[in-house]
């Protein structure tokens, strides 16, 4: 296993890139610690696979270096990087049995047969595919093919990193949650550095200790699931993570006060910087229906199991609140209270308040 560092990485698929818009990766600097469980999260097209393929050596970056334990591997081909990669769609040999497929990465590296048998049995048990070991892979369902593909990625215990590129895409929804928790468990057991790429926040947040959020070829925030939820550094993260996402509300700044809908709002801490477009960010979980606060009209109430989502309008601005129980109906006039320590100011998308002091 190794620490992975990406330094000044840029990549364009064009022969003569000019502006930033020509780059699939704009400028990436990142350290992945040995043994960590990481997710790379972002919408489709933001550059996740490009980044992964640069780490594995399938792509050579236009600029920058890749280091494994401080050793420069930028110019090494994939087979010399000692990496396991699991792709979106199964990569297995149809003519081989499941057992032969799982054994292949080990046999390929001359591992002793006794050790191979042991590892294959172990991986098959983890993935619950023991009953299929002697079936030819061609006869498997797409779900099972992908499971075996994952097994091939996990079978070696000497790789620098195991990378998964949206591996659950072809898996049935009911199996998804099972494999998701299984992967987490596997990471705890094998302690390998794992990088899990997905556009699905639930997958990222359940798997990873650290989540790298990407947008448009750039990293917007790196943090634990709690950090991303609690203090998004950018409105994109606030909006992308959480269900429903963070309320992002138009705000104005006047003589040291921040106003929403003409009313002063208490923030988590002092405002930093000036100018630009200012917005308030507050998660629906920290908006309450109260006796006083911002006047609003209820547009919709949705029961989502353990709590309810109240969809309200403050003037022309929609604001969501997540509450335990509600006794209001559509059309009701209410007041919304924002929890000050959870109310943040964003300037041109980036956080512009100092964090409240921890008590
Ligand atoms: P993601 O995996 O996050 O969906 P990708 O890394 O596949 O994103 O793509 C990032 C950007 O690079 C997209 O705009 C995509 O269209 C472009 N791209 C990806 N692969 C190629 C390629 N082989 N040639 C040209 N452009 C590509
Ligand atoms: Mg991709």
| pLDDT at residue 359 in the model | 46
CA dihedral for 292, 295, 299, 304, sign (positive or negative): negative
Ligand 1 binding pocket mutation candidate from 15, 45, 51 (most atoms within 8 A of CB): 45
Domains of the chain by range and CATH? Answer: 4-230 (3.40.50.300), 247-351 (2.40.50.140)
Ligand 1 mean position, distance from CA 211 (Å):
20
| pLDDT at residue 1 in the model | 64
What residues in the chain have per-residue pLDDT under 70? Answer: 1, 357-359
pTM: 0.91
Q: Each residue of 307-358: pLDDT tens digit?
A: 999 999 999 999 999 998 878 889 999 999 999 999 999 999 999 999 886 5
Whether ligand 1 lies within 6 angstroms of the CB of 13 is answered as yes
Ligand 1 binding pocket mutation candidate from 24, 28, 53 (most atoms within 8 A of CB): 24
Whether ligand 1 lies within 6 angstroms of the CB of 46 is answered as yes
Quickly list DSSP for 200-267: -HHHHHHH-SEEEEEETTEEEEEE-HHHHHH--SBHHHHHHSSSS--EEEE-EEETTEEEETTEE---
| pLDDT at residue 358 in the model | 53
Residue nearest ligand 1's atom 21 by CA: 13
Q: Residue 161 to residues 87, 189, 222, 252, 321: CA-CA distances in angstroms? A: 14, 15, 19, 47, 41
| Angle, helices 113-127/98-107, rounded to nearest 10 degrees | 130
Residue nearest ligand 1's atom 1 by CA: 45
Whether ligand 1 lies within 6 angstroms of the CB of 18 is answered as no
| pLDDT at residue 258 in the model | 96
CA dihedral for 190, 110, 33, 216, sign (positive or negative): negative
Ligand 1 mean position, distance from CA 53 (Å):
11
d(CA 38, CA 109): 27
Whether ligand 1 lies within 6 angstroms of the CB of 15 is answered as no
d(CA 307, CA 148): 39
State the ligand closest to the CA atom of 51: 1
Whether ligand 1 lies within 6 angstroms of the CB of 50 is answered as yes
Element (H, E) at 169: none
Pairing verdict, β 257-260 and 247-250: unpaired
Whether ligand 1 lies within 6 angstroms of the CB of 124 is answered as no
Query: How deeply is 168 buried, as exposed, middle or buried, from its count of CB atoms within 10 A (0-12, 13-18, 19+)?
Result: buried
Whether ligand 1 lies within 6 angstroms of the CB of 105 is answered as no
d(CA 46, CA 166): 13
Comparing C-alpha atoms, which of 353, 164, 163 is closest to residue 273? 353
d(CA 151, CA 171): 14
Half-sphere exposure in the Cβ direction for 31 (13 Å, CA): 5
C-alpha dihedral (52, 54, 56, 59), degrees to nearest 10:
120
Residue nearest ligand 1's atom 17 by CA: 24
Whether ligand 1 lies within 6 angstroms of the CB of 149 is answered as no
Q: Which residues pair with 218 in a beta bridge?
A: 215
Ligand 1 mean position, distance from CA 61 (Å):
13
Residue nearest ligand 1's atom 16 by CA: 45
Whether ligand 1 lies within 6 angstroms of the CB of 44 is answered as yes
| pLDDT at residue 326 in the model | 77
State the ligand closest to the CA atom of 215: 1
Residue nearest ligand 1's atom 12 by CA: 24
| Closest atom of ligand 1 to CA, residue 52 | 6
Whether ligand 1 lies within 6 angstroms of the CB of 48 is answered as yes
| pLDDT at residue 158 in the model | 86
């Amino acid at each position: 296993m190794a620490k992975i560092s990406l330094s000044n990485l840029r990549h364009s698929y064009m022969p003569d890139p000019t502006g930033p818009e020509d780059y699939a990766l704009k400028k990436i600097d990142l350290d992945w610690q040995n043994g960590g469980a990481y997710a790379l999260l972002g919408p489709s097209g933001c550059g996740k696979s490009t980044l992964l393929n640069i780490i594995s050596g399938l792509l050579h970056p236009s600029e920058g270096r890749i280091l494994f334990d401080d050793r420069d591997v930028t110019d090494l081909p994939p087979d010399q990087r000692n990496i396991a990669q699991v792709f979106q769609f199964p990569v297995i040999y149809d003519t081989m049995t499941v057992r032969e497929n799982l054994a292949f990465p080990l046999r390929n590296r001359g591992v002793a047969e006794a050790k191979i048998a042991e590892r294959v049995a172990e991986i098959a048990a983890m993935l619950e595919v023991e009953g299929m070991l002697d079936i030819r892979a061609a006869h498997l369902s797409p779900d099972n093919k992908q499971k075996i593909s994952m097994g091939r990625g996990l079978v070696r215990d000497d790789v620098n990193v195991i990378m998964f590129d949206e591996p659950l895409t072809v898996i049935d929804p009911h199996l998804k949650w099972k494999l998701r928790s299984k992967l987490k468990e596997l990471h705890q057991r094998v302690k390998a550095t794992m990088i899990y790429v997905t556009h699905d926040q639930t997958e990222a947040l359940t798997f990873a200790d650290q989540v790298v959020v990407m947008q448009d070829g750039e990293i917007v925030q790196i943090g634990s699931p709690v950090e991303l939820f609690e203090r998004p550094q950018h409105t994109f993260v606030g909006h992308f993570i959480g269900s429903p996402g963070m309320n992002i509300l138009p705000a104005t700044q006047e003589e040291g006060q921040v106003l929403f809908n003409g009313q002063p709002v208490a923030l988590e801490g002092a405002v930093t910087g000036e100018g630009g477009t200012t917005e308030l960010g507050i998660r629906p979980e920290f908006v309450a229906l109260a006796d006083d606060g911002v006047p609003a009209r209820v547009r919709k109430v949705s029961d989502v199991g353990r709590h309810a989502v109240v969809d309200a309008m403050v003037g022309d601005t929609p604001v969501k609140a997540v509450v335990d129980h509600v006794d209001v109906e559509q059309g009701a006039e209410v007041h919304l209270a924002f929890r000050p320590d959870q109310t943040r100011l964003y300037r041109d998308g980036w956080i512009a308040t100092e964090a409240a002091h921890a008590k």
